[in-house]
Amino acid sequence: MEQDTPGTIRRAEHFQVVLIGEGIMVGGIAGFVVILYRMMLEFANDILKQVLHFIESHPVRIAGWFFILVLLAWIVGKLVSAEPMISGSGIPQLEGEMIGKLDQNWWRVIGGKFLGGFLCLLGGLALGREGPSIQLGAMAGKGVSKGLERGKTEEKFLLTCGASAGLAAAFHAPLAGVMFSLEEVHKNFSVSVLMSVMASSLTADFLATTVFGMTPVFTFDILKPLPIHYYGMIVLLGGMLGVMGAFYNWFTLKVQSLYNQAKFLNTAAKLMIPFVCAGVLGITAPELLGSGHALIEYLTNVDVMLSTVIFILVSRFIFSAVCFGSGAPGGIFFPLLVLGGFIGGVFATVAVKYFGMDAVYINNFVVLAMAGYFSAIVRAPLTGIILIFEMTGSLHQMLSLSIVSIIAYIVATLLESKPIYESLLERLLLKQEVAAAGKAEEKREVSHGQKILTNFVVQFNSRLSEAFISEIKWPENCLVVSVQRGVKEIIPRGTTKLQVGDVIVILMNERDMAYVHDEMEKLCTAKDSFV
């Protein structure tokens, strides 16, 4: 296990080759874990359908089902209390671990997420499997790291590989898995991480499709590319999605706050609220239950009335927030795509009914809205564009996808709406009182831990841009060991002048990782120039 500085640096010299092999290993293991999780949730969904059919119009059976739902909520509450890291989608927990502010127990998370996710979908909660799949894949990567006795530097790469494999296996979208891991999880596009993540993602996708014969989550039939004279509508749709994405973030956090303010409710009691709501909907509107995969197929393959689309959109919006805010093990990744699709469905149906648009283009607007809504909420536009591209298999949508995603991104940013996973991570850290745990100023008698190498990119107009290394006030307890400029590696000296796009390799102790990460982010991304 690497503990010393020279060993860490020597190991990093061979990362690019070593990580490809380890990425393939992680992709196979993480892919298997996520495929098994996906199969379990599909089994839970089948059982739920049979139960709803069995209790239909039978008061005694309905009462028995509500008793079972309360029992399920109690069990899930015990699981979340025993392992809080399984709460929610798991993506904020992963991001917290990547910056050194959280440390998850990989085998407890996998076990708890498996059982918790199964019970939540069995109860009919409107939660997705894609976010948990990312966390499960990452924890499989962490398990591989522990088994191979890798250091913390390498472990971060393997966590990213596992996250990529998890999304690829869940969505049958390997490129989206790569992009999400780089754009949202690792937040770095170095060659080493790119090659290993691609190897992991492709391995997981191959395992899911070729070995297990699993099909994509859903597919879209885009009969015609959108004509250029409809691009004005795309701009309007992008603006709407930006506003509605900001509202989604606010509403989701507001519901979560209401749950947290209810101090008289314990974890199990909070979970009973969505489980009981699911019981009511199971009797009155069963199509609203579950992650919503069938709803998108219904929207894109059936001629649906405008009033029905609006009803499903509003009902799913509220029910999803009630489920997620409770802290149940499940994600918002796919549910928000479903909501985006229905926003596009409402938009296109209005255009057809009142403005004479050809109905053949309704599906075009459905997929455009999914990408734009995802970009506004998660603030990862490249992932949204590539994900929808892989699901449609059409290059004709790339321009329109890019336009709607960029506009939605800009509008949400102007409204000062933070990315949802960033907001959730901040709340998680605040709740656990670990926001300042990694600051070097804290006087604690603890081990420094292992040495960790982390990369940071010099951005345009940041404090590091066009500055000499000797002029910069670097964070305490860290060392600049290398500056990568394209394919060239520069040995850092005081007279080395940093340029936009340079990748700075920082060496630090494990204990100081969170503090150094925050300080380096300020140096690399601050808008004011270095003085």
Comparing CA positions, the residue from 278, 302, 308, 304 lying closest to residue 290 is 278
For the chain, 531 residues long, give each residue's pLDDT as a single digit of tens: 445 555 555 555 556 778 889 999 999 999 999 999 999 999 999 999 999 999 998 999 999 999 999 999 999 999 999 999 999 999 999 999 998 889 999 999 999 999 999 999 999 999 998 889 999 999 999 999 999 988 888 898 899 999 999 999 988 889 999 999 888 887 777 777 888 999 999 999 999 888 777 776 666 667 788 888 889 999 999 999 999 999 999 999 999 999 999 888 999 999 999 999 999 999 999 999 988 888 888 887 777 788 999 999 999 999 999 999 999 999 999 999 999 999 999 999 999 988 889 888 888 999 999 999 999 999 999 999 998 888 777 677 889 999 999 999 999 999 999 999 999 999 998 887 644 444 444 444 445 567 888 888 888 888 898 899 999 999 988 889 889 887 788 889 899 999 988 889 888 888 888 889 888 888 888 654 333
- Residue 326: Cβ-neighbour burial (10 angstroms; 0-12, 13-18, 19+): buried
Element containing residue 76 per DSSP (H, E): helix 59-82
Query: What are the sequence ranges of the domains in the chain?
Result: 5-211, 228-266+278-428, 438-525
- Are 483 and 503 a contacting pair, CB within 8 Å? yes
- Quote the CA–CA distance of 213 and 79 in Å, as a whole number: 32
Token pair 């070995």 in the structure block, residue:
211
Give the CATH class of 438-525. alpha beta
d(CA 167, CA 135): 9
Token code pair at residue 222: 């885009």
CA distance 236 to 408: 10
* Spatial separation of the C-alpha atoms in residues 402 and 323, rounded to whole Å: 31
Please, what is the angle between helix 15-55 and helix 191-206, to 10°?
A: 40
DSSP tag of 45: H
Q: Do domains 5-211 and 228-266+278-428 have the same CATH topology?
A: yes
| Separation CA 38–CA 413 (nearest Å) | 34
How far is Cα 198 from Cα 189, in angstroms, rounded to an integer? 12
CA pair distance 76, 160, nearest whole angstrom: 28
Q: What is the pLDDT of residue 14?
A: 58
Give the pLDDT score at 225. Answer: 81
CATH class given for the domain over 228-266+278-428: mainly alpha
pLDDT at 253: 96
**Using N-to-C axis directions, what is the helix angle for 267-284 and 306-325, rounded to 10°?**
160
Q: Could you give the strand order of the β-sheet that contains 503-509, starting from the edge strand earlier in sequence?
A: 451-457, 503-509, 478-485, 488-490
| Ramachandran bin of 292, using left for φ above 0, alpha for ψ from -120 to 50, beta for the remaining angles | left
Q: Look up the pTM and report it.
A: 0.88
Determine the residue type at 66. Answer: F
> Residue 507: beta bridge partners?
453, 479
Distance CA 336, CA 172 (A): 18
Q: Residue 400's closest CA among 237, 510, 219? A: 237
Whether 338 contacts 295, CB under 8 Å = yes
The highest-level CATH class for domain 5-211 is mainly alpha
What per-residue confidence (pLDDT) applies to 529?
39
